[in-house]
Amino acid sequence: MSTSIAVSVENKPHDSAVGKHFKLIDRTYENNIASDYTEKIEALGKSFDYEKNSQDYWGEREFSTLYGTPFYEHASESQKRALNHLYWVGQYNHTANAEANTMLYNQVTTGVFAHLGRYEKLCEELTFETSQERFHINTFQRIGLKTKIALMGKSFLHKPVRSKKKSSQQTYLSKLIPKAVSSAFETRWGNESNSLQDSCLRTFNRMVHPNRDRYYSQYLSAREGASIPTATGGLAGNTASPSIIKFLTLSWGSSPFMACHYYTMRMVANISLKGYEYQYYKKFRHLERQGSYIPVPTSVSHYHLLDEAFHTTMSQVIAQDVYKDMPQPTAYEKWLANMIVLRGQKGVMGGLSGWLPMTFRDDAFFLPTLYRLLRSPMFELSHLDALYWMERCLCHEHEGFHANLNHHQNLLGTFQRFFEPISYLWSQCREVKPMVVGGSIERAIQRNSKAFKRFSMLEEQL
């Protein structure tokens, strides 16, 4: 377990802090400690052998890459199983990135809560969660890598489909990816923010958070002379550039209100995860009752959901209740909190994928990934055949769009119920307007058609 942060008792929360949410925090911590499944998850990951798990579906068929598309209908049964497995790999690669974010920001925010009295159990729970995430991430990555090697081979995974110079690849991606998400890739080719930029960010942070010196995260304070920690994957990497994420790292570590606000964003990841993980949990229970073989990845998902349920409870109670105990936010902090939520909703929930179930982003972001999959040893399509199937799967109405729209509508209600009680949010944030707007098959096809046209033209030039 990570080293605990000393908790000061000098600053007591408001009288409302004696509310029932403190009992919920205590109970959640105690139950999480008692039912910890990290050792079980780690053992499953170490025992994973793809061949022994390759003949079974790991989740329901509708949770398969390319499900409901014309291409899926033409795939063989073995290819459909592989697409079901690759969906698990892709989703848990995203989950691993999100949990790496959690490890960082749990420590950042715990360093703020440590300045307050009565939050000892909250700090202990967040520290324990951080230790759990390490086991989860290692298992997801181990299973994912073994699966991809088995299906595609090491040689394919380590080289591009077609040889391109680095400069051409940079130009290609910068033209292909929409401006709304292109900034997330800026620093991956060496444009990392330097120490001068970090210094400027720290100076600005001191200016806009008047009580920063009183509440500044112990975790960040201990790293004052080093580069500002940041996250490049998961929710953070999908919504902003690393430079902006550094700015948010400082913001979430500078006041109790902003520390609580981080859990509003963490809850987005929690809800999204449960959206696809619950079906693995149900499949595990069904196979267990039948006495049937349970694939290792299905078991991992089942036990991970049991661990993650406590994390979700903590996200919700901090986001919806604990923030009310804290000193009132400044006008700037309210504005910043709303802008972060709005940007996050647009980046993660503002579209509708035609080939990735339970994914609500524009497919423009995923075009290189789809192209690479179709050219892989799993399908061995030529360049022209890959483009043909991409156009059919992304630019025309099909069952996959309708299945994902059903997922979208179910999850929309869940998000709205979560955001609605948070009083400082703008109405468009509480109503999750970006997701409402993005829930349109016609809009998705129009946007895909434009993005695919750009993609195919650039591919012909390279």
- CA-to-CA distance for 325 and 12, rounded, in angstroms? 10
For residue 11, which phi and psi values (nearest 5 degrees)? -110, 105
**pLDDT (0 to 100) of residue 457:** 87
Question: What distance lies between CA 428 and its chain's CA centroid?
Answer: 22
**pLDDT (0 to 100) of residue 167:** 36
For residue 116, which phi and psi values (nearest 5 degrees)? -105, 150
- CA-to-CA distance for 348 and 237, rounded, in angstroms? 10
Is the torsion defined by CA of 409, 411, 415, 417 positive or negative?
positive
**pLDDT (0 to 100) of residue 285:** 98
Which of 91, 133, 43 lies closest to 314, judged by CA? 133
Q: Using alpha carbons, list the distances in angstroms from residue 418 to 55, 83, 170, 263, 341.
A: 39, 32, 39, 12, 13
Scored b (16 or more CB within 10 A) or e, 69-99 reads: bebbeebeeebbbbbbbbbbbbbbbbbbbbb
AA letter at 132? Q
- CA-to-CA distance for 120 and 106, rounded, in angstroms? 14
- CA-to-CA distance for 113 and 4, rounded, in angstroms? 12
AA letter at 129? E
- CA-to-CA distance for 370 and 410, rounded, in angstroms? 26
Question: What distance lies between CA 177 and its chain's CA centroid?
Answer: 19
Secondary structure letter of residue 421 according to DSSP: T
> Under DSSP, is residue 51 helix (H, G, I), strand (E, B) or coil?
helix
- Global pTM? 0.88
List per-block mean pLDDT (blocks of 10 residues) for the chain, which spans 462 residues. Answer: 37 53 94 94 97 98 98 97 98 94 96 93 96 96 97 82 40 38 35 72 91 93 90 67 88 97 96 96 98 98 97 97 94 96 93 97 94 96 97 98 97 97 98 98 98 87 56
| DSSP character string of 181-210 | HHGGGGGGGT----HHHHHHHHHHHHHH-T
Is 310:131 a contact under the CB 8 Å cutoff?
A: no
**pLDDT (0 to 100) of residue 160:** 60
Token pair recorded at residue 211: 């009580």
pLDDT by residue (tens digit) across 47-57? Answer: 999 999 999 99
Token pair recorded at residue 331: 């006008």
> Under DSSP, is residue 339 helix (H, G, I), strand (E, B) or coil?
helix
**pLDDT (0 to 100) of residue 88:** 98
Secondary structure letter of residue 377 according to DSSP: T
Q: Using alpha carbons, list the distances in angstroms from residue 445 to 68, 70, 397, 412, 454.
A: 15, 15, 7, 20, 14
10 Å CB burial of residue 214 (0-12, 13-18, 19+) is: middle
10 Å CB burial of residue 414 (0-12, 13-18, 19+) is: middle
Residue 11 pairs in a beta bridge with: 116
Question: What distance lies between CA 6 and its chain's CA centroid?
Answer: 30
**pLDDT (0 to 100) of residue 159:** 63
**pLDDT (0 to 100) of residue 274:** 94
Which of 244, 258, 254, 175 lies closest to 210, judged by CA? 254
